[in-house]
Chains A and B, each alone.
Chain A
């Protein structure tokens, strides 16, 4: 931190000012000229929080994707199918048991098992053959998409949230003052999104701890850096591969439940989330978990701010970020060259 400030005094000041402005715009009551210039504070705060929660969802999907890539150099283009499959399983479990919470562990397990099956039956046979793996995973995603269309049809599925999660909750942030009485108006925000945000943070921190503070994490990191050397030390690398693939797949499945809760599950969502994961991972840096978090946050914020402040070009914004990153830092923001 200190070294960064010493080496980049200019950028440090810019970042500091930006953070100060952001904090001020979140907590202060906006003056009229600002409201006139960029609209009500409520819109800004909502876009900010929605961007972060959407980023949380993208992070859940992309972190498994990036982990699998980082370790196995395997671009799994069927990752979106795992998301969609997880969403359908989550719906069935929640519908059958009436419990939203139960859907998460069950979905995680079911999709993780599918991931293990994919790793053992498919990827293990074509290790190191990038092009072949890519083509095979595209094929698998098409087959899975059609199978799911066959089973669940084209309908839209929305996973029911429990009573305590539906509806908005009043936060402590002030969006404005009532003209008549002068009382502050507080921001109302959907409860379910707050819970999803909290869950994503917990999972993110948990993953970081797992990777950086445990023996398994050490193995995975060693595998990412140098697979051959790790094998030479006597570690059963195949077992590590299977575990990571299962974990990554399970996360994608759980993300499907999250997505099915505050968005919806339907055919086509698989490719949408595959594309989102690819963009997130390219922006953040292939194989890096903090990179996935940063990339997901950036893309989520870009989508939400874009949708309210420049709706016509919102779609372009995401890809603009990708192009900029590829042009100036091709390995991704936190990726290693």
Chain B
């Protein structure tokens, strides 16, 4: 008896499943894996990325193109090996069809390489912004709907030189691919406008004590460019205030992002009035943008989100949105080897909340960039305000592709500060 009962139960369950699941058999669930930095110095960035993903899923619902969506989330710590580990878990263990992520620059390069070994899976970048990821040996099944770090700098160099009048700048940044790309984009425009970059300081990602580097910053420059993010940014600002620093600051894209502007404590106050550039402006009065901000605010209680979505949330939102739109258009059938799905992504004109996004031949986004400044809202929140915007920013930043290739890949020393790169 004790041996037959489980069998009987099993049989009954199977019958019930057949009865209930008649139509569901046709609609096999679509497995989506999401990876973000939910550990380490970029934890708070990863959390907001996941929020962006959830906002997009709320928009499209649990069933897209007639197929129920099955979500698996994997955690990384901003290191390339953690990203590959997470991707392998999603692809080889959970058997996902689509991977959304990763978040951080060097992770993106590692996932591009990994994606080549898994041609049956489509990878859609979350928000990682190293130039190399799509510019050098791009992968057929890796798509990026966010611009890279250099594109996110578009407009900034020109603005700080011509409007702010900063003629000499020193840069300090985290020593990895995304910040190289950011400084690359800033330097190309700033140097071409006539500015001079006197020193470039590079600190390891995860540096907590900046006191000595702050003392080493030159005091005879007009401004200091900060290419830091997450906990490193907060620590820098805290120690900068303690040291009585008074220089003009210029922020990198993730330096003046919601992730830093929402930190607890006074450190962030040093950022008020600081110019920066990135793929969004928090207080932009565009209708689509405001609708997106409202959707974000309504999706989470105030203590579990930022006052306004960070660029990481927007990155994950756009990637997920693009994927869902294509799945919906194809009625849930991704085609042989997901070819139909990839065609759809490649040709998609995404009406993103932060401006229209299309992909180039490397499956890299061409989009709108925003020059912004940090302002204090009436309730004390720090937000970014639009200064100017630039549409149709491509990966070579409007420079002739051959001349662009001559400049070299972003690194500690590249690009040289020259008045012309053509």
Instruction: Report, as a range, how many residues of chain A touch the other chain.
Output: 35 or more
B380 proximal to A (CB < 8 A) = no
Contact A154 B265 (CB under 8 A): no
Contact A154 B212 (CB under 8 A): no
Number of A-B contacts (CB under 8 A): 136
B262 proximal to A (CB < 8 A) = yes
- Indicate with 1 or 0, residue by residue over B257-285, a CB within 8 angstroms of chain A CB atoms: 00010111111000000000000000000
In the complex, which of the residues B206, B215, B242, B304 contacts A46, with contact meaning CB atoms closer than 8 Å? B215
B77 contact set on A, CB distance < 8 A: 268
B8-16, B35-43, B92-100: which one contacts chain A? B35-43
Contact A155 B242 (CB under 8 A): no
Instruction: Tell me how far the C-beta of A180 lies from the nearest C-beta in chain B, rounded to whole angstroms.
Output: 15
A193 proximal to B (CB < 8 A) = yes
B213 proximal to A (CB < 8 A) = yes
Contact B47 A154 (CB under 8 A): yes
Give Cα A269–Cα B43 distance, bound, in whole angstroms.
Answer: 11
A160 contact set on B, CB distance < 8 A: 265-266
Chain B contacts with A in 176-213, Cβ cutoff 8 A: 201-204, 206-213
Give Cα A160–Cα B263 distance, bound, in whole angstroms.
Answer: 12
A74-82, A217-225, A305-313, A326-334: which one contacts chain B? A305-313
Instruction: Tell me how far the C-beta of B175 lies from the nearest C-beta in chain A, rounded to whole angstroms.
Output: 7
B244 contact set on A, CB distance < 8 A: 167-168, 188, 190
Contact B209 A304 (CB under 8 A): yes
Contact B242 A193 (CB under 8 A): yes
Give Cα A188–Cα B245 distance, bound, in whole angstroms.
Answer: 11
In the complex, which of the residues B43, B206, B211 contacts A190, with contact meaning CB atoms closer than 8 Å? B211
The tally of residues in B whose CB lies under 8 Å from a CB in A reads: 43
B46 proximal to A (CB < 8 A) = yes
Contact A264 B238 (CB under 8 A): yes
Give Cα A53–Cα B212 distance, bound, in whole angstroms.
Answer: 11
Chain A contacts with B in 48-72, Cβ cutoff 8 A: 50-51, 53-54
The 10 A-B pairs with the shortest beta carbon distances in the complex, nearest first, are: A158-B265, A46-B215, A154-B43, A168-B244, A190-B242, A50-B211, A154-B44, A47-B212, A156-B263, A156-B234
What are 20 A-B pairs at a CB distance below 8 A?
A43-B215, A46-B212, A50-B209, A154-B47, A158-B263, A158-B266, A160-B265, A167-B241, A188-B243, A188-B244, A190-B211, A190-B242, A192-B242, A264-B265, A266-B44, A266-B231, A268-B40, A268-B41, A307-B212, A311-B213
Enumerate chain B interface residues (CB-CB to A < 8 A): 38-41, 43-44, 46-47, 77, 175, 201-204, 206-216, 230-231, 234-235, 238-239, 241-244, 260, 262-267, 304
Enumerate chain A interface residues (CB-CB to B < 8 A): 39, 42-43, 45-47, 50-51, 53-54, 91, 149, 153-161, 166-168, 188-193, 262-264, 266-269, 272, 303-305, 307-308, 311-312, 314-315
